[in-house]
Amino acid sequence: MAEKGVNVPFGKLVSLANGTEKCQLYFGWLAAGLTGAILPLFFFFIGPAFDSFGGGKSPEEVRDEVRELCIIMGIITGAIFITSFF
């Protein structure tokens, strides 16, 4: 018969880490939280990008609007990449 696993409090796991490891752990938590917070922002700009193709606008107006949205989405994508990389 297998023995039951022992439950260890989360604080005990962190207490065995040195200062550098704790810093890395907390920075990882922060980066994961930022990634989760930034990712939904990307979807707020997809709708206006699709909407910019309709409405009887001139091609220049559509181009300028799509260019602006692409720059914003590129910045958001860069932020997601940086926060998810760490």
User: pLDDT tens across 54-83, in order?
Assistant: 778 888 888 898 899 889 889 988 988 888
Contacts of 77 (CB under 8 A, 6+ apart): 42
Q: pTM score, two decimals?
A: 0.64
- Residue 20's pLDDT is what? 92
The two three-digit tokens of residue 27, written as one number: 């920075």
The string of pLDDT tens digits covering residues 17-58 is 888 988 988 898 898 898 888 888 878 888 888 888 877 888
pLDDT band at residue 2 using 50, 70 and 90 as cut-offs: low
Asked if the model's pLDDT at residue 1 lies above 60, the reply is no
